[in-house]
Amino acid sequence: MPETASTPERAIEWERHELAVGDVTISYLLGVTHAGAGAPAHAEQPAAAPRPTVVFLHGLAGSAEEFVPTAEAIGSGYRSVLVDLRGHGHSMRHPDDASRAAYVRDVVAVIEQLDAPEGVALVGHSMGAHTAMLVAAARPDLVRMLVMLEGGVQGSPPEASAGIGAYFGSWPVPFADADAAALFLGDSPIARAWTADLEQRADGLWPRFDAAFLQASIAAVHAQPRWDEWEALEPATALVFAPSGMFDADDKDAVIEARPATLRVDLGAGSHDAHLDATAEWTAVLRDLLGRLGEGPVRWDW
């Protein structure tokens, strides 16, 4: 039986599932709803129409839990699937392979066993957006819509990934308790998410990732630009940027120029982690985008 996590008054309950992909175990949260909640047990319920499936991919050092507020905000009209990427969250902590191909393989395996013949809406943040883009490029038959929050396709110099690895390696773990973690990590929305996601062990609180694996993963993202995959994308694609995000004006313009069919959405507030610090605006935009998931091709006719 899958582990079920729920809180009072939720329209959605979360079941945790695991999937073996080669020698790696991938964990994900599946949002389930119960038709006719609150109705008498004997009440006859009308047959429900299939719900569009939305798959969420978090960024580096994140977890599926980061997207719970987003998934609950878009509502029970969608079947939401929140993936813990390899080396993150409840998925296998120390895989041998941190390549882009390995990440793509995991996500494809999750989507293939979801029974979504119409294809899914694939939503990713940061490194998760990069992964989502590569999945959509490799398997357009599985993806009807691609939404990239603060995601890019440009490469970066090696020192960028080294600096990221050094930061996560600097955490003085184990933390004695949540207060100690917050004192070191700070009180930003992403820091609060990291603190909330720490794993309790006998000797204290530990992150659900390994710093060396994170560095290897982001190094693979930075290693080469992905313009060919980006320009060849078939699914309807939207890029969502935040004003205090990671990309400057030239970066944003370059990706749109390379693929003019892309819908660009600029949020009015938020950082690189806009799903956490500009949640209301981000989820309003995402609801609007997902509203295009009717029958037939998705069109950006705003």
Q: What average pLDDT score do residues 109-123 get?
A: 96
Residue 148 lies in a domain: yes
Return the higher-pLDDT residue of 34 and 230: 230
> Tens digit of pLDDT for each residue in 18-27?
999 999 999 9
The domain tally of the chain equals 1
CATH number of the domain at 248, please: 3.40.50.1820
Residue 273 lies in a domain: yes
> Tens digit of pLDDT for each residue in 122-139?
999 999 999 999 999 999
Q: How many residues does the chain have?
A: 302
Q: Does pLDDT of 43 surpass 90? A: no
Model pLDDT, residue 89 = 98
Q: How confident is the model at residue 34 (pLDDT cuts 50, 70, 90)?
A: low
Residue 295 lies in a domain: no
Residue 167 lies in a domain: no
CA-derived radius of gyration, the chain: 19
Model pLDDT, residue 295 = 74
Q: How confident is the model at residue 299 (pLDDT cuts 50, 70, 90)?
A: confident
Residue 144 lies in a domain: yes
Q: What average pLDDT score do residues 252-276 get?
A: 97
Q: What average pLDDT score do residues 243-264 get?
A: 96
Q: How confident is the model at residue 37 (pLDDT cuts 50, 70, 90)?
A: very low
Q: What average pLDDT score do residues 145-169 get?
A: 94
Q: How far apart are CA 300 and CA 262, in angstroms?
A: 9
Q: How far apart are CA 178 and CA 117, in angstroms?
A: 43
Q: What average pLDDT score do residues 188-208 get?
A: 98
Model pLDDT, residue 33 = 83
Q: How confident is the model at residue 298 (pLDDT cuts 50, 70, 90)?
A: confident
C-alpha of 187 from chain center: 22
Q: What is the DSSP letter of 297?
A: S
Residue 175 lies in a domain: no
Q: What average pLDDT score do residues 172-176 get?
A: 98
Looking at every residue in the chain, the average pLDDT score rounds to 91
Torsion, Cα 117 122 213 31, to 10 degrees, reads -70
Residue 208 lies in a domain: no
Q: Does pLDDT of 40 surpass 70? A: no
How far is it between the farthest Cα atoms of the chain?
63
Residue 206 lies in a domain: no
Q: How far apart are CA 187 and CA 100, in angstroms?
A: 31
Is residue 162 classed as helix, strand or coil in its secondary structure? helix
The bridge status of strand 79-84 relative to strand 24-32 is: antiparallel
Q: What average pLDDT score do residues 2-27 get?
A: 78
Q: How far apart are CA 229 and CA 284, in angstroms?
A: 28
Domain that holds residue 239: 3-32+50-154+224-290
What contacts 24+ positions apart, CB below 8 Å, involve 274-277?
274/149, 274/150, 274/240, 274/242, 274/245, 275/66, 275/67, 275/69, 275/70, 275/125, 275/149, 276/66, 276/69, 276/189, 276/190, 276/192, 276/193, 277/188, 277/189, 277/190
From the CB of residue 258, how many other CB atoms can be counted at a distance below 10 Å?
13
Q: Does pLDDT of 7 surpass 70? A: no
Q: Does pLDDT of 190 surpass 90? A: yes
